[in-house]
Structure formats: structure tokens, C-alpha cells
Amino acid sequence: MRIDLHTHSSSSDGTDSPAEVVRAAADAGLQVVALTDHDTTAGWAEAADALPAGVSLVRGMEMSCEGRGADGLPVAVHLLAYLFDPADAAFARERERLRAERTTRLRGMAEKMAADGLPIDPDALMAAVGPAAGRPHLARALVDAGVVGSVDEAFADLLRTRGRYYVHKADTPLRDAVRMVAAAGGVSVLAHPRAVARGRLMDIGQIGELVADGLGGVEVAHHHHAPEDERLLRGIAADLDLIVTGSSDYHGHNKSVVLGEFVTAPEQYERLVAAASGVEVVTG
């Protein structure tokens, strides 16, 4: 069984629609795929309706959080939330707040660029984004305008954290996020916690602290993790009895990684499903 537990659609910052993601998963030989758009469940229904025979859908989300950095300062951390009840009131309110933060931030960055004379139309940009606005939308607009040659170049230069055009957004404290996912019957998994290519890293010691709050697992196999990172994370997961996942973090044409490039072991997937009580896996 081939299982990919981290993908994105056009409901956030991917280029494929939710329906296209699940069809592409079938074409890639996956038996299980999770849709984990940023701070939204908007793609769940479309993905479930388009699910090909023989493919199971894990409904999830990637949540924008703020943890403790290795330097002791706040750092952005992503938390994967699986099989939670989307109707849980507290969690639903927090997702709505996060999406509002995303919208305000993206418009602010676009307006800064326009004021500097860059060929970006903030109104047109915001009209084109999906339910969860993000910097990749602006990166693609910069590519389309010929300002940069690629999405990666946009992030390395114009969209970098604390760069000229950067606008802060207030993410959910990581401990609060883990507790919210657990209260909604879901399972939380830290996303790519050693992805040094993304910038500053979280304090690895915080993983152990989060277990008491309900943390379920750690994403270990990921294209931004070096072999030594995987060994470190597998050791921590074993010591703390956490679920170990692997996944592509697929974004369609926005990234070169392909569906199923990294996968989750079946026994780890079974642990994740058994630990959830929010919603069930949908089977095609």
C-alpha cells in the first residue's frame, strides 16, 4: 500500500483542483492520499466526490502555527491536522481567523510591491486567490509578470521572511493548535520540522513537550529533510511513541516534487486512523 499524507490543491496554494489531486493520486499508484490545504477544509467535498475507485481520502489540513525556535525566539511551524471534526466550534473559529490573517497579509505585501512600481495589481491578485490566500499566489503573479523566473526565485528574493515586502501574520500558538486538533477528534503531526531550506528551525525539544497536549506524530520522510534529519526524527518519534509519516508535500506545478515521492508505512497510517474520532476516511 502506497500512502501520501501531505498534498495541496488550488483551495490553498497548489495548482491542481481538489478533484485533480485525487485523480493524480490514482495515476501515481497511491492507495491513500491526504488533502491538507493551508488553514482550510474547502477542498474536502470536491476531493471526496471525485475520488477514484481504489483510492482512500484522508481529510486534513496544514495549520499555520508559531512555535519556539532553536534560538529561543518565535518561529513559524506547520502542523498537519488529520480526520478532525470540521464543525468543532473553537477550531472552526480559529481557521477563519487564520484565513483572515492570510488575506490581510497577502494584500499588504502586494500593495507594498505596487507602491514600489512592481507590476502587481493587488485587487486582481486577491480576486484570483482561493479560500486560503498565501505567498505562493503572489509568487506566481511575479512569475507571470516577468519579475522573476520561478516561484523559488520569488521566495528567495522578494518574498523572503523579514525582507523588504514581508508582512507578518499572527499564527496560532503551536501548543494551542495541538490541543484544538485533539479536542476536535483529530490527530496532529508536525510538518517537516527539520526543513532548514525553509528558514529557522523549531526547537527540537518542543516535540517532547507537546506530547502531553496531544501531539500524535512527526513527518519524517520529506524532500526538505536530509538523511541525518530523518534519523534524528525517527529516534525522537521512537522515544516518544509518536506516529511517523512520510509524504510529498505536493503542490502541483509550484514544486518539482511528485505525488508519492515520499510515503507513509501502512502500520503508521493504521495508527493514525485508529487514533482519530472526528471524521472517517473516505473510500472510493
pLDDT of residue 210: 98
Distance CA 33, CA 22 (A): 7
Check: CATH 3.30.470.10 for 3-96+169-283? no
Length reported for the chain = 284
Nearest residue to 194 via CA among 184, 204, 185:
204
Q: Domain limits of the chain?
A: 3-96+169-283, 104-156
Alpha-carbon distance of 274 to 129, in angstroms, equals 35
Query: 187-190 and 74-82: which strand pairing?
Result: antiparallel
CA 226 from centroid of its chain's CA atoms: 19
pLDDT per position as a tens digit, 145-200: 999 999 889 988 899 888 899 999 999 999 999 999 999 999 999 999 999 888 88
Judged by DSSP in three states, 244 sits in strand
Lowest mean pLDDT among 5-9, 233-237, 250-254: 250-254
- Per-residue pLDDT at 224 exceeds 90: yes
Q: Would you give the distance in Å from CA 234 to the centre of its chain?
A: 20
Q: What is the DSSP string of 182-217?
A: HHTT-EEEE--TT-GGGSSPBPTTHHHHHGGGTEEE
Judging by beta carbons within 10 Å of its beta carbon (0-12, 13-18, 19+), is residue 234 exposed, middle or buried?
middle
Lowest mean pLDDT among 54-68, 83-97, 149-163, 198-212: 149-163
